[in-house]
Structure 1
Amino acid sequence: MILLFLLSGNSKAQNIVNKEPKATWIWYPGDYEIWLANRMQNRRTDRGTFFPIFWKMDSHYPLMEFQKAFYLENPEKIQIAVEGQYNVKLDGKLAEGSPTEMNIGKGSHILSIKVFNQANVPSIFVKGKTIVSDSSWLLTFEDKEWIDASGKVSDKSGTVYMKADYWNFDTPTELPSQFHLPTKPAYAKSREEKNHSLLLDFGKETFGFLKLCGLKGSGKVNIYYGESKEEALSADSCETLDRLSIHSNTKLDSVMKLSKAFRYVNIRWDKNLSLDSANMLYEYSNVKQRGSFRCSDTLINKIWNVAAYTLHLNTREFFIDGIKRDRWIWSGDAYQSYLMNYYLFFDSPTVERTIFALRGKDPVTSHINTIMDYTFYWFLSIHDFYQYTGNKRIIEQLYPRMKTLMDFCLSRRDKNGFMEGLPGDWIFIDWADGLSKKGAVSFEQLLFCRSLETMANCAKLLNDAVDAEMYSQLAATLKQKIFSVYWSPKYHALVHSAIDGQPTDVVNKYANMFALFFGYLSPQEKQDVKKYVLLNNKIPKITTPYMQFYELESLCDLGEQKYVLQQIKDYWGGMLKLGATTFWEQYDPTQKGAAIYSMYARPFGKSLCHAWGASPIYLLGKYYLGIKPIAPGYSKYLIQPSLGGLKWMEGTVPTPKGQIYLYCNETEMKVDASDGEGVLEFTSKKKPICQEGKIISKGNNNYEMEIVKGVNYKVFYQSR
């Protein structure tokens, strides 16, 4: 398209700016994500045996019509590249063969390309001067058109078109089906060589393809991988391995077919073989770290850096759970990864791909990953995506699938309107011994209520007043029922469950902390939950980083940053004391010896690099730097710094169009933002001073100041 920019205030004629649009490969929304997820998730092996996912797999639509209506001021030649068999129609007339170029004359036109591809996702790339394949194209997997006996094309159509989806394949030779993550060579930090064996230590947890160099002879090679040295040395119990048969009279190099997670590699070979050396090809996602955090506490700095590395390793084609064992897309794990991502990478495409892959397609036959709570986290992730990015395209594309998934949930309510586990439902919540899943669990009802509120908000964004009202009413009714059934004046908290409509006497942290940061509790109820649940040593402790994430968030919401900081140092610092180079799936400080690696009744079943272990990134960014969006896409944002016992801290939080920087010590703050409208809120024992902005007193030593982009603010105050 040719854009004309006419600028006022200048007597001279302005230049006409020609800006050629960008062409990219396009496909039906969600199809590429589902196809890629299928390919990735079925790479898992258990000691060399294929180990597929255990929930329903969907697939892409094999036949797709791509359509674009446009007007040309001048004739134009276009290039066409396609993944699949295809034909091309211009203004309803079928072109001969499968053209790779086409001349189009001046005037109004409709260009249609129909593609069939059973193996890969039907995709197209079109590039002309003004006509390009981009997100404005319309797609359908069923055109519902027919031609009668007279040759007339139907004049009525029930076809539903969607806007095209895309990623970053921007040249005709950059085929989406050929995508793979980049690799680079990496080498062990130390090696122990014995007779026909080699033990490599790469110094820290890593991921990629092992490469054997200079193999020669005939015999077998056995490779045992380990996140710990103990695991690599355990030929009978290590989680992953490779076995090779070699027959070569000349030296050869061999790269393993599947990538693996490891720190240690134990290589053993037959006596008739020789091996010169071994290294690896490190495989990684090319996301850029945009967030940062640094403070006066060296242990917290190390925890933040290890958390960032942990999240990066688990950021692959999608956000996965852990790099050793599953390498699957679990909705609960992914939900936390999204939030950490907003404070580290702010990589929206990976979030979108993961959300699409998790949802799959209709019909809905089970909860996402078969887990009830994971279905609800999926709804919540869409709300958060819009809040952080301001991009509602994903809502427009996914709303029909949001509705059918919510219909599935609504159809499975009990007579009281609650969600109970039915055959085929996994009620997960957390890895916790003795946690009952019977009856209607209050934790699930809270997530269900929040999901209904999300549906109402999305319907409002799409101007669907009927749906918005329906979901709002359902959420309000459910919320009232939750507190009438589960809130116990005796325990000053929500009880864990109700069986046959009768509340139990069990109290734990899960439902209470979610009710707190969902904003469902009154000020008095918040203080009760804080005293009688969150800070009550008689309540069962949480032993996974997964739920530590939410427990510490709820405490930060109550202003307990000093307490939370010590918890982070004790819990995540405890893993570091045990030699962790990435954070784990589970950590129980009471466990000793070999037990620290055991899980799922397997000696080395525990993942030592798990995405949900990286939560300090989110907590330190949102509740210490105190930066969060209060309008979609950081168009408006809030900064509420809290040192929490630190002497100083500084960091950057990425936004869709830039970043927000904060430095804070006990007497001075510096703020610099490149986008949006912000408000700095803080307390000061004496009247604060800032030459660059106007500080407004809100009473009781509370102050606020407007933050304008591009201004470097210095605030002098007294924190205590």
Structure 2
Amino acid sequence: MKRTFVLFCLIAPLLAALATQGQQARWIWYPGDYDIWLSNKFQNRRTERGTFLPVFWKMDSHYVLMDFHKIIQLQQPEDLDIAVEGEYQVKLDGKLLEGKPDRVTIPAGKHKINIKVFSQATVPAIYVKGKTIVSDSSWLVTFEDKEWIDETGKASDVSATRWLQADFSSFADPDQLPSAYRLPVRPEFARTTQVNGNSRLVDFGKETFGFVVLHGLSGNGKLSIYYGESKEEALSEQRAETLDRLIVNLPGKRDSIMPLSKAFRYVNIVTDNNVSLDSVSMLFEYADIPDKGSFTCNDATINQIYDVAKYTLHLCSREFFIDGIKRDRWIWSGDAYQSNLMNYYLMNDNESVTRTLYALRGKDPVTSHINTIMDYTFYWFLGIYDYYLYTGDKHFMRQNYDRMKSLADYVLGRRNKDGLLAGLPGDWIFIDWAAGLSKEGEVSFEQLLFARSLEALSICADLVGDAEGAVRYKSLAADLKQKLFAIYWNDDKKALVHSRVHGRPTENVTRYANMFAIFFGYFSPEQQQAVKTSVLLNDRIPKITTPYMRFYELEALCAMGEQNYVLNEMKNYWGGMLKLGATSFWEEYDPSKKGVEHYAMYGRDFGKSLCHAWGASPIYLLGKYYLGVKPLTAGYATYVIEPVLGGLQWMQGKVPVPGGEIDLYVSTREVKVKAPFGQGTLRIRSKTKPSGIEVNAVAKAGNWYEIPVAPGRDYVVKYTAMP
């Protein structure tokens, strides 16, 4: 099943966040402001060998003055308790109340309450709780009230003010200030410790993240901690990527916790002769996000790959979805886009997705691509659409639509005279880490991602009621797609070529645009089959060595029914990392490398991340293309289950959807399924007509059968799998 865009005739109910919160008051703020503020704190924690290393792009800030208001209709008087982060005033029906009231009595009848908040250091936020009135997304908020007073003292109207619905997170305690938010920690202990003179090498057994704790530290002198994702890195005092240095001056023993959380498996602690410590432990720092999805099968290697992929994704799921836990610890759009997709099949944590998308976009004016990378701008557009498809949350799209338009205007303004995109000063054309990959001229991959983004924009415009924008973006997408095939399709090579330079298409064929065009549904069936042979299964085309683009390469093959081939590729590629002792999946893996060569990247001996979010893609592939669960309309109002064993004897798992999980078991003889929500269709290929209680199988071409799946029922389907 292609990942296709559809106009939705069935819209899932809006998330609970958009309705009355069941009298659950929450801290509220201007949409995106808290996420931007938190991301600034988060991303500027990065250090390299003890040196502060900030991000490479423009950082925005929150609005410092905010006006919150709500119109209230009460049958009887009501007391409201108020908590605020910042300096504030309260108005009732336009009249300023004295001081800083933390409790206000609202008389019966219709009233308007305004709370205006100033905060430079933190995000202006309020918490309001009464018997029937609470702070939630029904409150309106603006950073520009456009109000003035004339010579008589009469206040103007505020009809020109743009109000948005307030945003909120899970903070429901008035005493828990949003600015005080921290991830939880738990103590964990070393597996082994080797002492060699003044050096102590501590192994925690697997890749981990947190704060090193030194127990019984005493003496007078220097202590250095060298962190390593590998033993070799921890033992390399000159080349370890991260470290801590302490000056110890303690007459007695004391425990000491390092100030910054870091990634490591090993730590090498080197001390002066007159400094001693008893032992080393850590505080493991984690985002408390439970798994809702699962996968297991008869193949032990695939099960291990899935489990390590889960662990990798959880390590890279912090306040935001980040790239990797050792080196950057930044929010990169390309990495986050894949984490979002994996999240929908494992944790289904909407807040992590929206927080990350807000942080990536920042604020107007737009002065560069997201993360300065052209392709990463397009992943942000696609991330907004995918979030809506998997959750049904139109509200988030509506809150961000103006930001989508202004970003699109920036990109459209950078087209050349032929309406194509080429790298301009300040643009980073990334695509992938690949030696010798040309970025010159107008790269087909960028045009393809932009066409897809325009299609997404057209659908979003239609959903928020911008009919003119919907028509415009659809027309722009169609025009760009036409140019894509007119310029880049090469009949002799049976593929899209990589680029056009100085007005002429090159002869160079790479995998990128071709594999994306498959699951975007851009190729005809004949082109698709030709590309499978000429590109994806062609060893003469440069191979991909990053899990980042292996994700999409294997997705394209799965979309064409090549699950048997993909299963072997997963076992060889991800299994290859496991054979080398990986406890989380890496930023890059080249099987031709040997020994410590595997740890090098960016010209540094230990520059590679050994825990990178894009390494966890088997979660997505196994959920979407083996269990075969895919939404057809927003929020799984309608969906398809098309399980493919791909050489397995049996598999079972859960895929999270709004309101629960789709529970599935598949063998060569039987399918069991139960779904809590929506209208589903089970599609299976069988030698014989499927049977079972309330199983109404409808025959389709090619031995395919479709079976309606209603919510809340247990289906047991007997069939005979095709080879």
For 1:692, the aligned partner's letter is: E
Question: Offset of 1:171 from its aligned partner?
Answer: 1.4
Are 2:327 and 1:302 equivalent residues in the alignment? no
Are 2:41 and 1:29 equivalent residues in the alignment? no
Are 2:53 and 1:40 equivalent residues in the alignment? no
Q: Give distance in 2, aligned partners of 1:96 and 1:527.
A: 74
Describe the superposition over 1:176-222 as per-residue Cα deviations: whole angstroms up to 9, x where unpaired: 00000000000011111232221111110000000001111111110
Q: Give distance in 1, aligned partners of 2:374 and 2:707.
A: 43
Instruction: Please give the residue correspondences for 1:142-161 in structure 2 after superposition, counting only pairs within 5 Å.
Output: 142-155=144-157, 157-161=159-163
Partner residue in 2 for 1:10: none
- Mapped contact 1:145–1:157 kept (Cα < 8 A): no
Q: Give distance in 2, aligned partners of 1:632 and 1:219.
A: 62
For 1:281, the aligned partner's letter is: L
Question: Offset of 1:130 from its aligned partner?
Answer: 1.1
Partner residue in 2 for 1:327: 329
Partner residue in 1 for 2:269: 267
Partner residue in 1 for 2:419: 417
Are 2:534 and 1:532 equivalent residues in the alignment? yes
Partner residue in 2 for 1:66: 68
- RMSD of equivalent CA atoms: 0.9
2:351 to 349, 363, 379: 349
Partner residue in 2 for 1:639: 641
Q: Give distance in 2, aligned partners of 1:43 and 1:105.
A: 48
Partner residue in 2 for 1:52: 54
For 2:121, the aligned partner's letter is: A
2:593 to 570, 591, 595: 591
Q: Give distance in 1, aligned partners of 2:116 and 2:507.
A: 61
**Is the alpha carbon distance of 1:285 and 1:695 closer, same or farther for their aligned partners in structure 2, counting shifts above 3 Å?**
same
Paired residue total: 703
Instruction: Please give the residue correspondences for 1:639-678 in structure 2 after superposition, counting only pairs within 5 Å.
Output: 639-678=641-680
Q: Give distance in 2, aligned partners of 1:160 and 1:686.
A: 61
Q: Give distance in 2, aligned partners of 1:413 and 1:168.
A: 41
For 2:679, the aligned partner's letter is: E
Q: Give distance in 2, aligned partners of 1:154 and 1:665.
A: 70
Partner residue in 2 for 1:429: 431
Instruction: Please give the residue correspondences for 1:345-494 in structure 2 after superposition, counting only pairs within 5 Å.
Output: 345-494=347-496
Partner residue in 2 for 1:292: 294
1:81 to 66, 80, 83: 83
Instruction: Please give the residue correspondences for 1:175-186 in structure 2 after superposition, counting only pairs within 5 Å.
Output: 175-186=177-188
Q: Give the unaligned 5+ runs of structure 2.
A: 1-19
Q: Secondary structure at the match of 1:333?
A: helix
Q: Secondary structure at the match of 1:109?
A: strand
Instruction: Please give the residue correspondences for 1:167-182 in structure 2 after superposition, counting only pairs within 5 Å.
Output: 167-182=169-184
Question: Offset of 1:393 from its aligned partner?
Answer: 1.3
Partner residue in 1 for 2:6: none
Q: Give distance in 2, aligned partners of 1:67 and 1:672.
A: 44
2:136 to 134, 137, 140: 134
**Once the two structures are aligned, what percentage of the paired residues are identical?**
62
Q: Secondary structure at the match of 1:700?
A: helix
Question: Offset of 1:20 from its aligned partner?
Answer: 5.6
Dislocated runs of 4+, deviation >3 Å: none
For 1:60, the aligned partner's letter is: H
For 1:304, the aligned partner's letter is: Y
Q: Give distance in 2, aligned partners of 1:195 and 1:502.
A: 65
- Mapped contact 1:185–1:281 kept (Cα < 8 A): yes
Question: Offset of 1:699 from its aligned partner?
Answer: 3.5
Q: Secondary structure at the match of 1:168?
A: coil
Instruction: Please give the residue correspondences for 1:567-646 in structure 2 after superposition, counting only pairs within 5 Å.
Output: 567-646=569-648
Instruction: Please give the residue correspondences for 1:670-689 in structure 2 after superposition, counting only pairs within 5 Å.
Output: 670-689=672-691
Describe the superposition over 1:259-310 as per-residue Cα deviations: whole angstroms up to 9, x where unpaired: 0000001011111111011100000000011110000100000000000000
Question: Offset of 1:149 from its aligned partner?
Answer: 1.3
Q: Give the unaligned 5+ runs of structure 1.
A: 1-17
- Mapped contact 2:208–2:265 kept (Cα < 8 A): yes
Are 2:507 and 1:505 equivalent residues in the alignment? yes
- Mapped contact 2:146–2:158 kept (Cα < 8 A): no
Question: Offset of 1:692 from its aligned partner?
Answer: 2.8
Q: Which has the higher contact order (CA 8 A, sep 6+)?
A: 2
Q: Give distance in 1, aligned partners of 2:629 and 2:664.
A: 9
Question: Offset of 1:156 from its aligned partner?
Answer: 5.2
For 2:667, the aligned partner's letter is: N
For 1:505, the aligned partner's letter is: E
For 2:480, the aligned partner's letter is: L
Q: Secondary structure at the match of 2:632?
A: strand
Describe the superposition over 1:66-113 as per-residue Cα deviations: whole angstroms up to 9, x where unpaired: 011111100011101000000000000000011001111001100000
For 2:428, the aligned partner's letter is: W
Deviates more, 1:512-521 or 1:186-195: 186-195
Partner residue in 1 for 2:193: 191
**Is the alpha carbon distance of 1:19 and 1:47 closer, same or farther for their aligned partners in structure 2, counting shifts above 3 Å?**
closer
**Is the alpha carbon distance of 1:244 and 1:686 closer, same or farther for their aligned partners in structure 2, counting shifts above 3 Å?**
same
Question: Offset of 1:19 from its aligned partner?
Answer: 9.6
For 1:128, the aligned partner's letter is: G
For 1:461, the aligned partner's letter is: L
For 1:306, the aligned partner's letter is: V
- Mapped contact 1:416–1:501 kept (Cα < 8 A): no
Partner residue in 2 for 1:692: 694
Q: Give distance in 1, aligned partners of 2:628 and 2:120.
A: 49
Partner residue in 1 for 2:3: none
Describe the superposition over 1:19-46 as per-residue Cα deviations: whole angstroms up to 9, x where unpaired: 9611100000000000000000000000
Partner residue in 2 for 1:98: 100
Partner residue in 2 for 1:14: none
For 2:612, the aligned partner's letter is: H
Q: Give distance in 2, aligned partners of 1:499 and 1:80.
A: 62
Are 2:516 and 1:514 equivalent residues in the alignment? yes
- Mapped contact 2:633–2:639 kept (Cα < 8 A): yes
Q: Give distance in 1, aligned partners of 2:653 and 2:157.
A: 60
- Mapped contact 2:689–2:705 kept (Cα < 8 A): no
- Mapped contact 2:286–2:315 kept (Cα < 8 A): yes
Question: Offset of 1:258 from its aligned partner?
Answer: 0.3
Question: Offset of 1:597 from its aligned partner?
Answer: 0.3
For 2:479, the aligned partner's letter is: T
Question: Offset of 1:490 from its aligned partner?
Answer: 0.9
- Mapped contact 1:692–1:714 kept (Cα < 8 A): no
For 2:411, the aligned partner's letter is: C
For 1:662, the aligned partner's letter is: L
Partner residue in 1 for 2:280: 278
Question: Offset of 1:688 from its aligned partner?
Answer: 1.8
Q: Give distance in 1, aligned partners of 2:528 and 2:716.
A: 35
Q: Give distance in 2, aligned partners of 1:435 and 1:415.
A: 25
For 2:117, the aligned partner's letter is: V
Partner residue in 2 for 1:214: 216
- Mapped contact 2:442–2:499 kept (Cα < 8 A): yes
Q: Give distance in 2, aligned partners of 1:113 and 1:25.
A: 13
Partner residue in 1 for 2:707: 705
- Mapped contact 1:88–1:98 kept (Cα < 8 A): yes
Q: Give distance in 2, aligned partners of 1:152 and 1:386.
A: 44
Instruction: Please give the residue correspondences for 1:192-271 in structure 2 after superposition, counting only pairs within 5 Å.
Output: 192-271=194-273
1:162 to 154, 161, 164: 164
Deviates more, 1:350-359 or 1:688-697: 688-697
**Is the alpha carbon distance of 1:630 and 1:574 closer, same or farther for their aligned partners in structure 2, counting shifts above 3 Å?**
same
Q: Give distance in 1, aligned partners of 2:232 and 2:92.
A: 65
